[in-house]
């Protein structure tokens, strides 16, 4: 009988890659999301009817339970970068994660994979990082055999990291950064998906895995790589943290004054706190090597999707070649 996996947040950035790989493994895939009608892009990942988006609100017991009925495994990819309305860090990343694990244990689901983040720490100054740690604890209490993945910043075609800065560099001559000296270890989204699939298939021992790519660099260094990929020269300005806090406060005040019509997805005070801490794999932590996965280098992927921010887009290489013809 074909096995079934429920992926909470399976239409999002990381979830869709997991869904695609699980479909290739021959599993039926149930993609649990808040807006199924906006998640139809997952259906072609498998044969007709193999991948299906269903409604689920991770803050509600009944909808979470209904989405996992009959599932052999569950994967939780739900998370938020900024709080909005009822979708607070606590409600989604702490309580929501615990809810999925508790109900999965009650229904006798065999395996669970939970997507957390490097930096998850109950003692962190960042509420985001604390909620991630609380979510891990909430998962492990009812489901001690869960596989927990802690990736560094994730890159890939649909990412909200390099794409965000690419859009900024496309329109501005100056690229302001907060935490430019903070270190990151970018990890390719499909490598994270491979790790999740290993957990679902029982090819990974229970426990916490910290996932980082083969290269470590500062935020400023990564922006240099991004600018090289999009063939643009910009002035990178590393702003002190106190300036970042002022900017974040201003954006939050604007959100309050507009009654939420403007959502502060630019920079929050909590993000400034996170940017003060390096986002790299801890020494001695289990990681890709323990899963038999060789992580993909940033330079092998970045140019393949960042070309849209080049001065002439996909034709930029042709223009460069034309310049060389003038010198012949």
Domain assignment of residue 306, yes or no: no
Which ranges of the chain have pLDDT less than 70? 320-328
Domain span at residue 76 reads 4-159+185-214+278-295
Does residue 305 form part of some domain? no
Is residue 123, in this structure, part of any structural domain at all?
yes
Residue 165, in any domain of the structure:
no
CA distance 170 to 137: 42
Tell me, what's the pLDDT at 177? 97
Q: For residue 241, tell me if it sits in a domain.
A: no
Structure-token pair, residue 294: 């060789």
The answer to whether residue 168 sits within a structural domain is no
What pLDDT does residue 2 have?
92
Look at residue 313 in the predicted model and tell me its pLDDT. 84
In a domain, 48, yes or no: yes
pTM: 0.94
CATH of the domain at 198: 3.40.50.720
Round to whole Å and give the CA distance between 19 and 183. 30
Pairing of strands 147-151, 174-178: unpaired
pLDDT of residue 316: 75
Write the pLDDT tens digit of every residue in 205-216.
999 999 999 999
pLDDT of residue 325: 61
> According to the model, what pLDDT value does residue 233 have?
96
What integer pLDDT is reported at residue 314 of this predicted model? 79
Q: Is 235 inside any structural domain?
A: no
Structural tokens at position 266: 């630019």
Domain total for the chain? 1
Residue ranges in the chain assigned as alpha helix (H): 15-24, 61-67, 89, 97-106, 127-140, 162-171, 189-200, 219-229, 241-257, 269-274, 288-291, 302-306, 316-326
145-183 burial code (b ≥16 CB/10 A, e <16): ebbbbbbbbbbbeebebbbebbebbeeeeebbbbbbebb
């Amino acid at each position: 009988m074909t096995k079934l996996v429920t992926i909470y947040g399976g239409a999002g950035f990381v979830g869709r890659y997991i869904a695609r790989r699980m479909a290739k493994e021959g599993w039926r895939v149930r993609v649990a999301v808040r807006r199924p009608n906006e998640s139809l892009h997952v259906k072609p990942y498998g044969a007709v009817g193999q991948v299906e988006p269903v409604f689920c609100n991770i803050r509600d017991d009944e909808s979470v339970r209904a989405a996992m009925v009959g599932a052999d495994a569950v994967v939780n990819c739900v998370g938020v970068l900024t709080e909005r309305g009822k979708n607070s860090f606590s409600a989604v990343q702490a309580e929501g994660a615990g809810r999925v694990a508790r109900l999965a244990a009650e229904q006798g689901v065999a395996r669970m994979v939970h997507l957390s983040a490097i930096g998850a720490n109950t003692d962190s100054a960042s509420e985001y990082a604390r909620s991630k740690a609380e979510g891990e604890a909430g998962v492990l209490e009812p489901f001690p055999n869960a596989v927990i993945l802690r990736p560094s910043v994730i890159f890939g075609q649909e990412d909200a990291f390099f794409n965000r800065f690419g859009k900024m560099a496309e329109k501005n001559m100056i690229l302001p950064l907060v935490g430019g000296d903070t270190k990151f270890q970018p990890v390719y989204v499909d490598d994270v998906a491979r790790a999740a699939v290993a957990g679902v298939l029982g090819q990974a021992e229970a426990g916490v895995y910290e996932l980082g790519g083969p290269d470590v660099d500062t935020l400023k260094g990564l922006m240099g790589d991004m600018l090289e990929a999009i063939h643009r020269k910009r002035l990178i300005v590393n702003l002190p943290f106190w300036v970042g806090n002022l900017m974040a406060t201003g954006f939050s005040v604007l959100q309050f004054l507009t009654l939420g019509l403007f959502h502060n997805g630019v920079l929050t005070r909590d993000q400034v706190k996170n940017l003060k801490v390096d986002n790299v794999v801890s020494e001695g932590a289990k990681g890709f090597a323990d899963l038999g996965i060789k992580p993909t280098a940033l330079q092998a992927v970045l140019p393949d999707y960042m070309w849209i921010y080049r001065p002439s887009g996909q034709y930029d290489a042709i223009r460069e070649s034309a310049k060389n013809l003038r010198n012949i």
